[in-house]
Chains A and B, each alone.
Chain A
Amino acid sequence: MALYSKEFEVKARDFDSAGEVSSNLRAILKQLSLAPDIVRRSCIVCYEAEMNIIIHSYGGTIKIEIFEDRIRIIAEDTGPGIEDIELAMKEGYSTAPEEIREMGFGAGMGLPNIKANSDFMDIKSSKDGTVVVAEILF
């Protein structure tokens, strides 16, 4: 049973509130007095998942679950999905359009960052949507 669970809506192309879910998560984790490294890694994972929904999807949600021994972050969207997950996981691979690259996104580092900062990661994707699940253990 999760000790804490909350779902946040993330809108496509909503750059103005980008990072809001992650900032919320940071505040919650700080309140729980978790180790700085856990807070930092969780925030990186959440931020990258949040930005991917904003940049690459039609919109979705991020669900945060906190258990006694771990944090689980579930990012879910409604499409268009990732065609080749293995390719998408490679550092430097990005389909971000030019105007988004100019803002500093599209380094192709988001999914690799999620992988590197979590203890468990799973991606499922079809044209109807993508679900990224990541866990950080205490």
Chain B
Amino acid sequence: MGIKVENLLKKGFSLVAGEKGIDREIEGVYICDLLSWVMSHAKAKDAWITIQSHINVIAVALLSEISCVILPENVKLDEDAKAKAEEEGIPVLSFSGTSYEAAIILHEMMK
């Protein structure tokens, strides 16, 4: 089933930045904290789960055309990254559980 970033907001994910992009579609999930690995392996329209929270994450998200960034375990987004996410309209969501738990929810929703 096709889901959008905004659908996650009812499932325990909260929006930290990038509201402009919440109607983006999510077609897959990619979990990794190594940026050049993400650059080459994540697919367009993936939701990207990472504990990296600095400004470069937004650049990678933009360039690899992922749908949204998900920060698990309440990782906090850097202020300058937040500003960049707003500017580029890249949704960044916060989640209290682990990456694994976030991925399970996404999996259930995409079934």
Residues of A within 8 A of B (CB): 15-16, 18-20, 22-23, 26, 36, 40, 43-44, 47-48, 51, 103-107, 109-110, 113, 116-117
Contacts and interface: CB of A to CB of B under 8 A. Distances in A.
A104 B33 contact: yes
B44 A110 contact: no
A16 B35 contact: no
Interface stretch (B5-13, B51-59, B92-100): B51-59
Interface residues of B, number: 22
Interface stretch (B14-22, B23-31, B62-70, B103-111): B62-70
A103 B54 contact: yes
A103 B59 CA distance: 13
A36 B36 CA distance: 19
B59 A105 contact: no
Contact of B36 (A20, A43, A110): A110
B39 A104 contact: no
Nearest to A101: B34
B56 A23 contact: no
**Residue from B40, B52, B64 having most chain A Cβ neighbours under 10 A:** B40
Given A23-B59, A103-B52, A109-B34, 13 more contacts: A15-B56, A18-B56, A22-B59, A40-B44, A44-B39, A44-B64, A47-B39, A47-B60, A103-B56, A104-B33, A107-B34, A107-B37, A109-B39
A61 B37 CA distance: 24
22 contacts: A18-B55, A19-B59, A22-B59, A23-B59, A23-B62, A26-B63, A36-B65, A40-B63, A44-B39, A47-B59, A51-B35, A51-B36, A104-B35, A104-B50, A104-B52, A104-B57, A105-B34, A106-B34, A107-B37, A109-B34, A109-B36, A117-B40
Given A105-B36, A117-B40, A40 B65 contact: yes
B56 A19 contact: yes
A105 B39 contact: no
B79 to A, nearest CB: 11
Contacts of B54: 15, 103
A107 B63 contact: no
A19 B37 contact: no
B63 A47 contact: yes
A123 to B, nearest CB: 16
A107 B34 CA distance: 6
